[in-house]
Amino acid sequence: MASARDIRRRIRSVKNIQQITKAMKMVAAARLRRAQERALSSRPYTAKIREVLASVAGGVGEISHPLLEVRPANRIAYLVMAGDKGLCGAYNSNVMKEAAANVRTQNDPVIFAVGRKSRDFFKRRGYRIDQEMTGFSEKPAYEHARTIAQKLVDMYVEGLVDEIYLVYTQFISPVQSTPSTIRLLPVASEDVQGEGPQQEYIFEPSAEAVLDLLLPKYLETVIYGALLQASASELGSRMTAMGNATDNAQELIGKLTLSYNKVRQAGITRELAEIVGGAEALK
């Protein structure tokens, strides 16, 4: 059985860890509020650009565009979004399971890793990382989405890949998120079809010119929305994980305190028995 000194030392250690996890929970909660607002506010814009794109694509007939070109899927690319840090529960492992289930089905997949956890996961398993971007998983900016979209468009237009899929975590609530996989390229009509009746638009100078400008903007918007949802999911998972860790630390402190009191009482009882025994021996 551990001594009272060892138990006291462990109690102090657990209390220090509890202070750290409590602080991390508070920081994640403060950041989550802003990330959640950004993720939710981006959805109406994404829905509207889908609606406009569906209207344009439906009104131009058999138009030819590089991002609409459907080719045999000989080589597929995956844009995988994960976190830069750990201590966020099962967030990273869940999205990695979703990505691995897709990547395993391909002979020579192209991997675009966003986040250190995504990059390290595939490197440890011997996959080649063709592109990577790290350091902004908690605070993504639109410039990050624009850079990613441009690299993906270049890869697709140059014929390096035939299809591109996005693997990210869809934010539902601070305690619930779902890994999802969607196709980015080629853009098909079912990918941009909105709900409800479609509005009619007049395009100037032409629907073809608008489509040429709108398709890259659509990709940037979808990627940016995914970055925001992934950020909110990561922060929500971290807040939940750190809250659970803080509660577990409090429970462990209670058990250790009980053990400490038992050890101290046993020591006091033993000392009293020694004193009584010594007194009896002197009689």
pLDDT of residue 98: 94
Per-residue pLDDT tens over the stretch 100-114: 999 998 888 999 999
pLDDT digits (tens, 9 = 90+) for 57-83: 655 555 677 887 888 888 999 999 999
pLDDT above 70 (res 198): no
pLDDT of residue 1: 63
Weakest-pLDDT range from 10-19, 162-171, 218-227, 272-281: 272-281
What is the 3 state secondary structure string of the chain?
CCCHHHHHHHHHHHHHHHHHHHHHHHHHHHHHHHHHHHHHHHHHHHHHHHHHHHHHHHHCCCCCCHHHCCCCCCCEEEEEECCCCCCCCCHHHHHHHHHHHHHCCCCCCEEEEECHHHHHHHHHCCCCEEEEECCCCCCCCHHHHHHHHHHHHHHHHCCCCCEEEEEEEEEEECCEEEEEEEEEECCCHHHHCCCCCCCCCCCCCCHHHHHHHHHHHHHHHHHHHHHHHHHHHHHHHHHHHHHHHHHHHHHHHHHHHHHHHHHHHHHHHHHHHHHHHHHHHHC
For 27-48, write each residue's pLDDT tens digit: 999 999 999 999 888 888 887 8
- Active-site residue numbers? 88
pLDDT digits over 137-184, tens only?
989 999 999 999 999 999 999 989 999 999 999 999 888 999 999 998
Residues 12-27 have pLDDT tens digits of 999 999 999 999 999 9
The CATH number given to 22-241 is 3.40.1380.10
The pTM for the full model equals 0.84
Averaged pLDDT of the chain: 86
